[in-house]
């Protein structure tokens, strides 16, 4: 079976070549993202394999179908970038990697939180420059503070355990709450407005869909505690970035740790350091000393990369052998 991989980086090629030795697929790697124009690169392939910033919209899927592509394999958990209705219309199943290392993303969220609270990013540059002053580096104990976790799926569960280990109180919101989990771990489900009002730290772990797009905007920010630390390792469009910028300027948001950004596709995963930044919103975000932006790297651990490759290759093998697709994304998902 021939598989065209879009949006690849050298580490994708290295991992898939190493893990994929025994699978016997013909993998073709492309750096370009999938979109309606680049879809032609998949000519002659049975399947395409895509990542978070590839665009499998209706036009791209129609092209893929014309080229004879019969499967879309996401090498990530989120599937907000695939038009599932279009895929169903063209009878192209979509598979994904539902879990590869929830620890990787949860630990990255914690890294952002600790760095922001204790100003590690600022201290790093200061001491290298011979500046050993503590001025402006004051943080606070996480012990005894309240964390609000939006979405209590796989990643959030890992994060909740870590935060409870810090001695934080954890509040959570999920439209499908798991009362047994809350009781056994020791956290409370509360309505979203209560979570916003009571949390010192808010971390987003729900999928991006029509009901969550821009859930953090002016209205939500106005309900939050002044000085709240906002962490987003979910998807960029969960936050209305201009509202976040206003919140940061007014001091309502104390700090923001963003592993995702709503317009990230134009920048993330690329070295654009020799270009003038033409995204004024991203440039403004990067100008705040209390904002850390990472380039959608929450998943980026050795363990996660290996698991992603293995599950993706297993998904492809199930398809090649005509078996039921364990990790198929269903239209109603």
Closer residue to ligand NAI, CB minimum distance, 39 or 151: 151
For residue 319, the SS3 value is helix
156 binds ligand NAI (CB under 6 A): yes
Are the C-beta atoms of 47 and 73 separated by less than 8 Å? Answer: yes
Catalytic residue set: 235, 264, 296
268 binds ligand NAI (CB under 6 A): no
Buried b / exposed e over 23-54, threshold 16 CB at 10 Å, is bebebbbeeebbbbebbebbeebbbbbbbbbb
Q: Is the dihedral angle over the CA atoms 318, 10, 286, 140 positive or is it negative?
A: positive
Of the candidate residues 175, 179, 273, 332, the single one contacting ligand NAI (CB under 6 A): 175
Residue where the block lists tokens 């025994």? 22
Instruction: Report the distance separating Cα 142 and Cα 167, nearest Å.
Output: 7
Tokens of 62: 């129609």
Closer residue to ligand NAI, CB minimum distance, 47 or 155: 155
State the nearest-atom distance from the C-beta of 112 to ligand NAI, in Å. 10
- Per-residue x/- track, 299-328, ligand NAI (CB under 6 A): x-----------------------------
State the nearest-atom distance from the C-beta of 134 to ligand NAI, in Å. 32
Instruction: Report the distance separating Cα 325 and Cα 333, nearest Å.
Output: 15
195 binds ligand NAI (CB under 6 A): no
Closer residue to ligand NAI, CB minimum distance, 64 or 149: 149
Choose the stretch contacting ligand NAI; rule: CB under 6 A; options: 219-227, 233-241, 273-281, 322-330: 233-241
Are the C-beta atoms of 219 and 239 separated by less than 8 Å? Answer: no
Are the C-beta atoms of 269 and 261 separated by less than 8 Å? Answer: no
Q: What is the largest CA-CA distance in the chain?
A: 64
Residue where the block lists tokens 């073709």? 28
- Angle subtended at Cα 258 by Cα 36 and Cα 83, rounded to the nearest 5 degrees: 25
Closer residue to ligand NAI, CB minimum distance, 75 or 235: 235
329 binds ligand NAI (CB under 6 A): no
Tokens of 128: 């290298």
* Binding residues among 83-142 for ligand NAI as defined by CB under 6 A: 99, 102, 105
Q: How many CB atoms lie within 10 A of CB 234?
A: 26
State the nearest-atom distance from the C-beta of 116 to ligand NAI, in Å. 16
Residue in 25, 31, 22, 60 with CA at minimum distance from that of residue 46: 25
Are the C-beta atoms of 176 and 199 separated by less than 8 Å? Answer: no
7 binds ligand NAI (CB under 6 A): no
State the nearest-atom distance from the C-beta of 72 to ligand NAI, in Å. 17
Choose the stretch contacting ligand NAI; rule: CB under 6 A; options: 20-28, 59-67, 149-157, 309-317: 149-157
Query: What is the total count of residues that contact ligand NAI (CB under 6 A)?
Result: 30
Instruction: Report the distance separating Cα 53 and Cα 46, nearest Å.
Output: 21
Choose the stretch contacting ligand NAI; rule: CB under 6 A; options: 15-23, 135-143, 169-177, 266-274: 169-177
- Per-residue x/- track, 64-83, ligand NAI (CB under 6 A): -------------xx-----
256 binds ligand NAI (CB under 6 A): no
Residue where the block lists tokens 């009901």? 211
Closer residue to ligand NAI, CB minimum distance, 211 or 273: 211
List of residues contacting ligand NAI (CB under 6 A): 77-78, 99, 102, 105, 150-156, 173-176, 205-208, 211-212, 233-235, 259-260, 296, 298-299
């Amino acid at each position: 079976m021939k598989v065209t991989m879009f949006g690849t980086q050298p580490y994708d090629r290295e991992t898939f070549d190493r893990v994929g030795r025994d699978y016997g697929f013909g993998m073709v790697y492309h750096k370009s993202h999938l979109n309606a124009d680049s879809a032609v690169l998949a000519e002659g392939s049975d399947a395409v394999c895509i990542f978070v910033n590839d665009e499998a919209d209706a036009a791209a899927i129609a092209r893929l179908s014309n080229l004879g592509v019969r499967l879309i394999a996401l090498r990530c958990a989120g599937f907000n970038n695939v038009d599932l209705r279009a895929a169903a219309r063209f009878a192209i199943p979509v598979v994904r990697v539902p879990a590869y290392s929830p620890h990787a993303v949860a630990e990255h969220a914690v890294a952002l939180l600790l760095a922001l609270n204790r100003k590690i990013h600022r201290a790093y540059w200061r001491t290298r420059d011979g500046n050993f002053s503590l001025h402006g580096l004051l943080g606070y104990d996480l012990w005894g503070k309240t964390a609000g976790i939006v979405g209590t799926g796989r990643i959030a569960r890992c994060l909740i355990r870590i935060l409870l280990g810090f001695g934080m109180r954890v509040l959570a919101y999920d439209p499908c709450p798991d009362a047994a989990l809350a009781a056994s771990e020791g956290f409370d489900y509360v309505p979203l407005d209560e979570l916003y009002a009571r949390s010192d730290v808010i971390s987003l772990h729900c999928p991006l869909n029509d009901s969550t797009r821009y859930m953090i905007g002016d209205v939500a920010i106005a309900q939050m505690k002044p000085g709240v630390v906002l962490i987003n390792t979910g998807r960029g469009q969960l936050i209305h970035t201009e509202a976040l910028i206003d919140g940061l300027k007014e001091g309502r948001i104390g700090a923001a740790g963003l592993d995702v950004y709503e317009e990230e596709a134009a920048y993330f995963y690329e070295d654009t350091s020799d270009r003038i930044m033409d995204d004024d919103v991203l440039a403004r975000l990067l100008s705040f000393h209390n904002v850390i932006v990472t380039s959608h790297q929450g998943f980026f651990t050795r363990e996660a990369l290996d698991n992603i490759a293995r599950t993706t290759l297993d998904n492809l093998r199930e398809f090649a052998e005509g078996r039921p697709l364990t990790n198929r994304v269903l239209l109603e998902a």
